[in-house]
Structure 1
């Protein structure tokens, strides 16, 4: 098995990336790649791996979905009592990774996570499907449960509770905006000589550098 895994390899030939052709603004460069990922019909192009750390410095990763992008940052939503939220409250510095493997690309972003306003969370919450709204009330995210039956019973309870009218926004649920301090764009190339562009925030400006693969 080990030899078989060691032999797994692929040459990356789909595209290239250099400072001259890349946008000087990393947000615009990210938007360009994200649009291409959408056009390429990638599965969940807005999926990103979020990394946080606990009090001891132990890192944790999980996949979440980007739900908003502007010139200030990237937004995702979660339960504010979840493990990820607790860790963000202890250390606001996070990292996210967009793994667009089918395009031989990835983007790694480091930044600081801050809660969005209740009004912003409410606006997004009301746009969610009814089942997703109920799901936010059902799950005490990251807590230990005895079986899936606990969730099914809680869901039935919430359906009864909110059968009349709209589902309200839970006070323990909302968004975080990640405000980037750096972007790294990675494009696979032949012979493992990949293209890597690093954008770092310097005051109000961004500096782009090429990194060795």
Structure 2
């Protein structure tokens, strides 16, 4: 997991971002990178490695998206786009990282007693795939009115926060201002003592 965050950090600086990335910045880069990898994979291969159910993004454009893209190319004097002539080869390392990162969605517990977990996952993955705020709103709830940038930001913040907490809890890592680091032996012992103390108090009650 630490290596994945180092990869995200390299992407952050290649993109000429200003300042230093936070763990949330790096996690979002990893999610968008994982979704992009999934989109470049053939459908059968993507289905074979998918472990996140229907939250896995689709690689197909809608008919309207394809028409608009084609029209834009023709108006710019570019040749007609032939999708069969382009093939993106996905590296095995990228696939392994994609599986690891999308698997982190299991840490999302949602809100409202967990009733909206799946639609929160779908909404965040849709945004990472490049869908507009309006499209993400329909993914989240097609009957909801007034889904705006603030609503999308709140959902994304909640999902990223829950994933970061899950990473820290499951992998025994400590969040820093920029990424994660491994626990020291002393910190592991202190956490073990604190856990035993909490268990003793719970048993006493």
Q: With structure 1 as the length reference, what TM-score do the two structures score?
A: 0.24
TM-score (norm 2): 0.24
Q: Which structure dedicates a bigger proportion of its chain to strand?
A: 1
